[in-house]
Amino acid sequence: MPHVTSADGTRIAYDRKGTGPAVILVGGTLDDGAENAPLAPLLADHFTVYNYARRGRGASGNTPPYALARELEDLDALIATAGGSAHLYGASSGGALALEAAAAGSAIDKIAVWDVPYVIGDDQWPRFNQYLADTREADKAGRDEELLELFMRLTGGPDADIATYKQYPFWASSVALAHTLVKDAVILNDYKIPTARLARITQPVLVTTEGTTTQPQFAGLPSDFFDRAAKAITAAIPQAERRTLDGQGHVVAPELMARVLKTFFNQ
């Protein structure tokens, strides 16, 4: 895969497709770029699409120490390669990263985000605070499988399902990415919405979510978990608009998202 070199020397791998204005796809939780891969060719007839593996994922490097600033530098290196400015689409924690990049002044044209998981509401904080403490302890001890189990239990995955998943090949690849769960908590400001930083974003932002969350793996979260966050994000950003894509799960249908992004980025 081609790569760019970030400011600290880390090689960031990416795939490029299409021609036209640049769009960078920013992956989310436990994603090495594979989740957005089906979206890239659907946008390639209108845009030059860069789908990259965030640091520590896939073919990208993982130079310590980790910090949000390093991931922003990774995006800036990609933006430079893309011609000096780009639209961003970020899914889940990748949406939070895209918003942080805009707030920090990166050369971004428009931003679209999907299911950004900030925690809104006092009812969720006891569980999330315990999760953050437990994951930091497990991460320090190098217990990557435990990190993954903690995350699945946080969102509501039953122990029986976790035991079943361990029998499948994808479990090992998920464990290999589990260290990024602690890093995603950094990207997400420990799940607290950074209202003051978001208010600095001047670009147009499209805030999208699924409808009512009914997936069994999210049974531990309120059915309006992503909607709560989306409303707060939209309220914080001066030029934000809100859209709900009913009937979708946390992994949105690429054909649907491609239509939404083409319309928004071409407006």
Cβ neighbours of residue 61 closer than 8 Å, sequence gap 6 or more: 10, 11, 12, 55
Residue for token pair 């009937």 = 247
Closest CA to 113 of 180, 48, 198: 198
HSE of 126, CA atoms in CB hemisphere, 13 A = 2
> Considering the chain, what is the average pLDDT of its residues?
97
Upstream peptide bond of 204 is cis (omega within 30 degrees of 0): no
pLDDT in tens, 174-217: 999 999 999 999 999 999 999 999 999 999 999 999 999 988 88
> Exposure string (b/e) for 139-171, b if CB count within 10 Å is 16 or more?
beeeebebbbbbbbbbbebeeeeeeebeeeeee
CATH of domain 3-121+191-266: 3.40.50.1820
Enumerate the domain spans of the chain. Answer: 3-121+191-266, 122-183
HSE of 53, CA atoms in CB hemisphere, 13 A = 20
Residue for token pair 């639209």 = 87
Closest CA to 125 of 221, 20, 254: 221
Is 71:55 a contact under the CB 8 Å cutoff?
Answer: yes
pLDDT band of residue 238 (cuts 50, 70, 90) is very high
pLDDT in tens, 43-88: 999 999 999 999 999 999 999 999 999 999 999 999 999 999 999 9
% of the chain with per-residue pLDDT over 90: 96
Closest CA to 98 of 192, 201, 190, 234: 201
